């Protein structure tokens, strides 16, 4: 039933973020120039993906609002902690629901984009393009999701934690934008600038599984730290 609670808690924010992500991407796709066959090329899709990264990051920050510390500020943490479930279980369900909704926020705009863009007679290529971009978005985004989770375990207040998260995300984006650190930047990974050819929009090289795994490992570490903090905290 913790899933039910997490869904009720986040569904409004999820719907708002979903409408924003799908709406923005659809609008951008519609406004792009089209080839002779009436479809948008892969370069166009890749460009719209960069805009999706921005809105998706905002959406995930919104989705990860809440948690025990936020409930403590509102007074309901006592009820949650009196339930026969561990703090790890509470956090795991919240994170998984956040992750599933984040996947939805990444996939739904791409479905809309593919439908609106057409496929220039190459449906498989377009689908692969979508899959790769979603992989990159979720791989790098997992770090942002768990970082927001971590901040929600450190900063009390319903709106303080997401506001701080956005501030830190902007700071990180700026810090990692330098040439030396760009390889470690989750933002650069999410946009896929290093992995796609700017002329034809095709993947230039193998699928970057290793960096994706690195980011997932970093996300797992952030999750573990968050759980440790919550386990030790007095409510």
Partner 1 sequence: MTWEPVIQLHNLTKAYGQAAAVTGLNLAIRPNQVTAFLGVNGAGKTTTIKMLLGMIQPSNGDAFVLGTSIRNAKDSVSLRRDIAYVSESKQLYDYMTVGQILRFTRPFYSDWDTGLEKELLDTFELPLDHRIKSLSKGMRTKTALLLAFARRPKLLVLDEPSDGLDPIGIEQMLQRLVTQCSEGTTVFFSSHQIAEVERVADNVCMLHRGSLVLDSPMDQLRESYRQVDVGFSHPIDPSAMLMPGVENIRCDGRQMRITVRENADLVMGRANDLGAISVEAAPVGLREIFLEKAGGPKYCSGTKPG
75 binds partner 1 (CB under 8 A): yes
Q: Which stretch binds partner 1 (CB under 8 A): 81-89, 101-109, 120-128, 196-204?
A: 81-89
Candidate list 23, 74, 123, 167; residue touching partner 1; CB under 8 A: 74
Angle at Cα 201 formed by Cα 197 and Cα 204, nearest 5°?
40
5 binds partner 1 (CB under 8 A): yes
User: Smallest distance, Å, CB 96 to partner 1?
Assistant: 17
- Cβ 65 vs Cβ 152: under 8 Å: yes
Smaller CB separation from partner 1, 9 or 101: 9
93 binds partner 1 (CB under 8 A): no
Phi, psi of 196, deg, nearest 5: -120, 140
SS3 call for 34: coil
Phi, psi of 63, deg, nearest 5: -65, -35
What 8-state DSSP symbol labels residue 196? Answer: B
198 binds partner 1 (CB under 8 A): no
41 binds partner 1 (CB under 8 A): no
What 8-state DSSP symbol labels residue 67? Answer: S
38 binds partner 1 (CB under 8 A): no
Residue (of 165, 146, 167, 161) closest to 228 by Cα position: 146
Task: Give the interface with partner 1 as residue ranges (CB under 8 A).
Answer: 1, 4-5, 8-9, 12, 74-79, 81-86, 231-232, 234-235
């Amino acid at each position: 039933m913790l899933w039910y609670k997490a869904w009720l808690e986040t569904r409004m924010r999820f719907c708002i973020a979903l409408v924003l992500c799908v709406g923005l991407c659809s609008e951008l796709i519609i406004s792009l120039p089209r080839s002779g066959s009436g479809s948008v090329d892969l370069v166009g899709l890749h460009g719209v993906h960069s805009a999706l990264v921005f809105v998706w990051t905002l959406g995930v920050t919104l989705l990860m609002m809440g948690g025990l510390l936020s409930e403590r500020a509102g007074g309901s943490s006592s009820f949650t902690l009196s339930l026969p479930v561990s703090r790890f279980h509470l956090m795991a369900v919240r994170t998984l629901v956040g992750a599933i909704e984040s996947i939805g926020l990444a996939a739904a705009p791409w479905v809309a984009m593919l439908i609106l863009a057409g496929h220039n007679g190459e449906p498989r290529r377009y689908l692969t393009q979508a899959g790769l971009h979603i992989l990159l978005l979720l791989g790098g985004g997992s770090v942002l999701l768990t970082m927001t989770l971590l901040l929600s375990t450190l900063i009390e207040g319903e709106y303080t934690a997401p506001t701080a998260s956005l501030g830190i995300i902007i700071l990180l984006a700026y810090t990692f934008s330098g040439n030396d650190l760009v390889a470690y930047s989750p933002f650069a990974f999410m946009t896929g600038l290093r992995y796609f050819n700017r002329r034809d929009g095709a993947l230039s090289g193998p699928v970057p599984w290793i960096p994706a795994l690195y980011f997932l490992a970093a996300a797992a570490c952030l999750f573990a730290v968050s759980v440790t903090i919550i386990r030790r905290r007095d409510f």
